[in-house]
Amino acid sequence: MTASQWPEYGPVPEAALGPELNADGYFVERVQDNLFWVTDGTYQAAFLTTPEGVVLFDAPPTIGNNLRRAIDEITTTEDLPNQVTHLVYSHHHADHAGASYLFGDVTRVGHAETRRLLQRDNDRARPAPDVTFEDSYTLEVGGSRVELSYHGPNHSPDNIDILFPDHDTLMQIDIVNIGWVPLYNLNLSEDVPGYIDAADRAMEYSWTHYLSGHLGRLGTRPDVELHQRYIADIVDSANTALASVDPTPYFVRYGENAWGGVTGYLDAVTAEAAAPVIEKYTGVLAAADIPSLTTSTTFSILQSIRLDLGHGSQVHP
C-alpha cells in the first residue's frame, strides 16, 4: 500500500487522550489510597500495595516487564514490599493475561470458567488460577478488600467485575473503551446481550473511577454514560433498519445463490443502521470516523437483535 492509499482519519478528540508515557513506555499513577493503575496507552492493569505484598490485577503482555518497573517505582516510594503475592485475572484472554508468567509462583485468582479455559488453552504464559469462585469472592490482603463477581458471559464467557469498595473504583475489562468506540465486532465480544448489560450493571455500583483495561486514561461515570448512549443509538438504528430494508430485491437479484442474497441484504441493513451513528459520534468518540469499527459493531448488535431477541425475522406467508 502506497502512502496515497492510506485512509485519512480525523483528529482524536482531546478527551480520549491519556497522560504522557515515561521513557520506558508506561504511566503509573495513584487511583486512590493504595490502589494504582498502569497503562502503556493501549492496555491497562492495576495493583494494590499492602504491608503483606502487592496484589496485581491483570498482566497485559504489551505492558509486560513495565508492570514490574511500575510496582518497584511505587513500592520504593511508599516504603512497602514489592513482592507480588496475588494476581487476579479479569478473564482468560492472552492480551490481558499473557505476562502472568513473569510473576512466578504467586496465588492466582479467577473465575472457575477462567481456570477451565486456561487449562484448555495450555499456555505456559498464563498459568490457571489456584483460587476460583462461581458467583462471588472477597479477596482480602494486607487490610485491603476487593469484591469479585460473575454475572454471566459478556465480552468472554468468564469476564468478571472487580470492585474496590474502599477505593471508589470499578474494574470492568473490555466493556467500555473510555473516550473511544469499541474495536471490531463490539470489542470482539462473544455474548452481545451480556456485553450490553455489563455497562448498565456498572452504573448500579457505587464508584468514581473506572478501569476499562484499554487505552490511556481512567474512566468516569459520564464516560460510561456516553458509551451507553452510543450503544443505544446503534440498537435503535438497527431496529429501524430491520423494519425498513426490504430483503426481496437481494434474493431476486442473486437467485439460486442464497448466500449472495443473504449477504446483500445484511450488508444493506448494516450500512443503513451504521451511517447515522457514525455521523453523530464522529468528533465525539475517538475512531467513530473509522467506518469498519462502528459498522462491524452494528452488525454484531443487529445479528443479536435478530437471533437472540427474535426481532426483524421475516416469516414466510
Question: Is the pLDDT assigned to residue 316 strictly greater than 90?
Answer: no
Under 8 Å between Cβ of 282 and 10:
yes
Q: What is the pLDDT of residue 312?
A: 66
Answer whether 211's CB lies under 8 Å from 172's CB. yes
pTM: 0.94
Mean pLDDT of 235-250: 94
Distance CA 36, CA 211 (A): 10
Residues 265-284 pLDDT 10s: 999 999 999 999 999 999 99
Closest CA to 169 of 59, 54, 35, 51: 35
Query: If you average pLDDT over residues 38-45, what whole number do you get?
Result: 98
pLDDT for 90: 98
Phi then psi for 31, rounded to 5 degrees?
A: -85, -55
Distance CA 239, CA 242 (A): 5
The values of phi and psi at residue 76, to 5°, are: -65, -45
Band of residue 309 on the pLDDT scale cut at 50, 70, 90: confident
What CA–CA distances, in Å, run from 163 to 86, 150, 210, 305? 16, 11, 10, 30
